[in-house]
Copies of this chain bind each other. A is one copy, B any other.
Amino acid sequence: MEDAISILRRCDIQPTPQRIAVVECVLTSKSHPSADDVFSGAREKCPTVSRATVYNTLNLLVEKGLLRMQTMKEGAVVFDPNIEKHHHFIDEETGAIYDIPWDQLEVKGKRGLNDFEISEYQVILRGRRKKK
């Protein structure tokens, strides 16, 4: 697994201890951390890191295409390290977000969307995850 420093270098971002902590945290975290989740995690590795640096770094990573920003939960944006195209399922009871592989849903557009130039899309499903 590529380590945080190489990742940062590959993206022309200077690897500082703070940024390394953020990257390590994002990559090992559950799949859809909020900025605050990352902040807490990064604090453990680098106790002096500030809120502003975490936000700055996350935004940098989004700019460079390492993360996607998703506004799905109320009140807070979440970050998605899965940058492949995929859909999302939101458990209405727990709020958990699950990735749905792109090819498990097929979306077919009918006529009538001529006014719009679509650059991307995704399906957002809501419901309950079955306890198996």
Contact = CB atoms under 8 A, between A and B. Distances in A.
Interface in A93-127: 98, 100-101, 103-127
Interface size class of A (residues with CB under 8 A): 35 or more
**Chain A at the B interface: SS class:** strand
Contact of A106 (B101, B110, B118, B129): B110
Q: How many copies does the complex hold?
A: 2
A124 B122 contact: yes
A28 interface: no
A117 B129 contact: yes
A16 interface: no
A124 to B, nearest CB: 6
A73 B71 CA distance: 7
A118 B127 contact: yes
Most buried by B among A73, A74, A111, A114: A74
A92 interface: yes
A92 B107 contact: no
